[in-house]
Amino acid sequence: MPLMPRFAKFVPLHTPRLALVALSLEHAPAIFACAGDPGISRMVAWPRHENLEATRRLIARSMIGYVEGGHYEWGLVRRADQAFLGTCGFGDLDPARGVGEIGYVLARPYWGQGYATEAASAVLRFGFVQLGLRLIEAHVFPENAASIRVLAKLSLRYRETRLDSTEPAGALRPVCVWELAREQWAGEPLR
């Protein structure tokens, strides 16, 4: 299979319980509730959103990325009641190497219900099938046991722990790197 095309088209994805959609400004309050939560922000590599305007700027960058191509961040909407649960997508992509980094974040009321695993499974499929990635990585802080369980359920394998500068101030923090190679992926057969 060839390496990732320059920019594969962003498309909505669906799972039994979720619609994975393009982010829009109507999602800003729900994203801010999650991205502004100090308990969540300590588990992710990006700074906590201090106000709704920071969230709107993030969404605007995503909307531009959808138009320009090469941006793959989905909003997670529960199909049963249209509740916005969080986001899942690829933060970093290296088309030349065929490597992508997957990430996800859910608001607290939706933790422990299998939504992260369900959404990330659909995004893994998109990465291997539509983007032609050869390797998908995830970076997780060692204390984020719930996220580590999600990665294990998705068959990602632990590779290493390293010190990374994950905050704007450049502070070093241990980060576990997990990975899944296309040949090890248990999804649909690749053609």
- Among the listed residues 110, 46, 114, the one whose alpha carbon sits nearest the alpha carbon of residue 84: 110
pTM score, two decimals?
0.87
144-160, pLDDT tens digit by residue?
999 999 999 999 999 99
Query: Any residues with CB less than 8 A from the CB of 149 and at least 6 apart, and which?
Result: none
On the CB side of 12, how many CA atoms lie within 13 Å of its CA? 13
* Cα–Cα distance, 83 to 91 (Å, whole number): 23
Q: What is the mean pLDDT of each run of 10 residues along the chain (191 residues)?
A: 63 97 91 72 63 82 89 96 94 90 92 96 95 94 91 96 71 88 77 40
Please give the domain boundaries of the chain with CATH numbers for all domains.
Answer: 13-184 (3.40.630.30)
Residue 184 corresponds to which tokens in the numbers above? 């090890």
Triad 32, 33, 34: Cα angle to 5°: 90
**Res 38: pLDDT:** 64
Residue 10's identity, in one-letter code, is F
Residue at token pair 């700074």: 47
**Res 131: pLDDT:** 93
**Res 133: pLDDT:** 95
Residue at token pair 């450049």: 170
71-107, pLDDT tens digit by residue?
999 999 999 999 999 999 998 899 889 999 999 989 9
**Res 81: pLDDT:** 97
* Cα–Cα distance, 175 to 185 (Å, whole number): 23
* Cα–Cα distance, 110 to 88 (Å, whole number): 14
- Among the listed residues 21, 48, 20, 45, the one whose alpha carbon sits nearest the alpha carbon of residue 32: 48
**Res 179: pLDDT:** 97
